Structure 1
Amino acid sequence: MTNNTEKEKIAGLIRNARLSKGYSQQQLADLAQLNLRSVQRIEKAEVLPRAYNLNLLAKQLDLDLDALGFSNDLQKATLLNSAPVGRQAGKTGKLIFSVTTGLLTFLLTAAFLSQSSDFPETSFELFLLLAFVVALYGAMLWRIWKR
């Protein structure tokens, strides 16, 4: 169970720091790359922010993590190094998607080659097709993994 006084303490610190900087909630949300509703819920003490979100807000508001009650070095390290859950799970998802897409690309290319009686006429055409498929797959992987 979450401690209400902790939520209220953090809510007050975030709200006061935001107001002293002259930011609206929307401006703070944009700067921290958070949803406006998340900032609103944090400032109303409806939720205890995740470590990652709290770190983003603290950076934008120039807040010292000690002022937020994170005086323990282990807590600070966890707060600074934590990634959102979606990004941690995202690597696994990207890997599964990459392997699945590679296998699917291989099978579709093989199906195309097996159904065509007159393609490829030469080994050059075969290598050209394979080069195109590899380049397309590489570009797709680059787009998936650059995020």
Structure 2
Amino acid sequence: MDPTGKEKIAKLIKEARLRKGYSQQQLADLAQLNLRSVQRMEKAEVLPRAYSLNLLATHLDLDIEVFEEIKSNIAAVPGASPTGNNQLDKKSTKIILSTTLVLLTVLLTAAFLSQSSGFPETSFELFLFLALIVAMNGFLFWRIWKDN
């Protein structure tokens, strides 16, 4: 199995650090990074930012071009995203928005109807009001869920 870009970068950082004889703490101190950040980079838990890579490359005598090439290869892979699965993030956001919309609609409608002594006077007015609420929700759901 081919190593991912994060794994390649992690291996480069760890090998260079060991070659220099630095501990993770020493490297973190030299590069003015958090120890936990260095640990995450070496375990391939994160894809380091360009700033961090520049600092590490400087202190480990690595060529920054190697890091940039690996990162550009990650970006060139279809569907690959350094920040995670973007489609999943969008769907989660849509689900959260939809759930919030439903809850807000129910609560605000109930609050309005319970505080209104003269509305609705007839069942027809109630059903007309509820139809308007459903139509507005339908429009908002359409706007949230339509494919861009």
Question: Shorter-chain TM-score: what band?
Answer: 0.3 to 0.5
Q: Taking structure 1 as the reference length, what is the TM-score of the superposition?
A: 0.48
Q: Taking structure 2 as the reference length, what is the TM-score of the superposition?
A: 0.47
